[in-house]
Copies of this chain bind each other. A is one copy, B any other.
């Protein structure tokens, strides 16, 4: 039987051969997570994904969410799925078992998420925010808040969201106008309107807990006057039982290009003056809480994009092997029989491109999770800081760059099916539509690029970025010692050197009078950084593969390992030259974008 959703072999390769994730089990915190346990978890996740989640992908898209008088219904099939998801404990995979979590390494959880997102990311999105909101309660909540809410969220009995965006405050969070007024009992009366709230209202759960960004009366303007509140849809009594409706009203849902199975809600809080919330964390420190959640949330979005790309690639590969059409280009006569389309050069080009990006992005994601795990087991503050720095630098790539490239993969994934790819008969067009949202939410990709240039490049006086360059250089050095990878090692070293030069240039320019022009090329700078990281990951994979081949591998493994080396060769040989061209454009940029007269963009 053909692979479904994604190639398990590649997941295992990253977990066990590239990252050697079972080494984490040497540490007390993860001692349960032996290879056997890890494999079991991945198998369980794969089973759920293949058998239950994937069959609901298309029905979920077609049925979508419906809104009627404040009530939102998710696709019917999602209810059973939600139950199974809860039973399996998949909502809080890495969290404290005391609160209902599974305490597993982030790296392993990402493997599970890879399957879930590849099978049905609109469904998964419903549970993702429950976890994110729970995490805020865990980190910032009082003991009472935790007792009342946390376990019920981590186990999916109640849902969670994040109420951030308002009609006039999207990317500019500081402009929000929702207000909070303290009551005599210490609670706050909340009033305002929020939009684009994923799962803001739904019929999967009996209560929904909303972390809400709002401004306490009299607080400063901008982001420094924003506080975070915990606002349940239905009030919760001190004994944990449900009380009255808390005046959180869904006023409508968006009709969207994709992710139809996830309701995107508009909510009005306190329309009747009856919405109460409790402060979560400190007054005016709401944005800090957001920043704490940001890395995880952005990595999750990258994982959604990877899910779409993984599935689209897997479908395309299966199709290319099955679909027979057209003669071989070198066929002798006109009567030559048609061949599977994988034999056609341009089809192979697309497949190899899709493979390289999908696998490279997978490594970027899992490695980022691995850094998190290293923080969790490390006792050394410097070491922790180093891992954290790597994560911080990688996040805009794991979200912005990865989602862009995943969309390209999905685009090729439609193309691979020809006319059929454009029809709803195959999942390819849905994967493309669903994937598009990952460019937009959790900070548009433009914002990711600004984050990389404005914050991450100079983080810890530039040490975090230097640490990244060091990691990549180590891999290039290691590859140099592997005979057949010497040329590729040169390729990576060369682009790392250019990236270092460019990073210094960008850091300097962003602080000069040419600041605006630096930000105008922040996006291509993010792209070339991502390309370099991609080349790093693919070469790292190739080193592992080459060593296994040297020490003798089974036939089935040989083709897999050879595939790893080819991907690296293709990326470094065929795509990195393009990166070098882009780098040279960024470094010689003459500021045209900012100099342009506003009127010159076109007539009014």
Contact = CB atoms under 8 A, between A and B. Distances in A.
A575 B523 CA distance: 13
A463 interface: no
Contact of A577 (B348, B569, B584): B584
Contact of A432 (B257, B347, B520, B574): B257
B415 A440 contact: yes
A379 interface: no
B338 A172 contact: yes
A546 to B, nearest CB: 14
A345 B522 CA distance: 9
A529 interface: no
A171 interface: yes
Contact of A600 (B414, B563, B576, B592): B563
Interface in A169-209: 169-172, 174-175, 195-196
A8 B517 CA distance: 30
Interface in A554-604: 559-560, 562-563, 566, 569-570, 573-582, 584-585, 588-590, 592-604
5 contacts: A321-B598, A345-B594, A355-B602, A563-B602, A566-B600
Interface residues of A, number: 117
Contact of A559 (B224, B407, B441, B600): B600
A381 to B, nearest CB: 33
Contact residues of A: prevailing secondary structure: helix
A515 B344 CA distance: 12
A7 B424 CA distance: 35
Contacts of A437: 422
B325 A596 contact: no
Contacts of A422: 254, 256-258, 436-437, 440
Given A222-B334, A326-B171, A515-B329, A601 B345 contact: no
How many copies of the shown chain assemble into the complex?
2
Given A348-B593, A444-B415, A598-B342, A325 B566 contact: no
Nearest to A444: B418
B257 A351 contact: no
Nearest to A172: B326
A423 interface: yes
A523 B604 contact: no
Residue from A170, A342, A343, A407 with most neighbouring chain B CB atoms (10 Å): A170
A538 to B, nearest CB: 12
Interface string A295-318: 000000000000000000110010
A516 interface: yes
Interface string A332-355: 001100100011011111111001
A570 B593 CA distance: 7
Contact of A321 (B415, B440, B604): B604
Given A422-B436, A582-B581, A325 B170 contact: yes
A200 to B, nearest CB: 13
A391 interface: no
A347 B446 contact: yes
Contact of A3 (B221, B352, B600, B604): B604
A450 interface: yes
A597 B325 contact: no
A154 interface: no
Contacts of A573: 585, 588-590, 592
Contact of A601 (B8, B169, B258, B352): B352
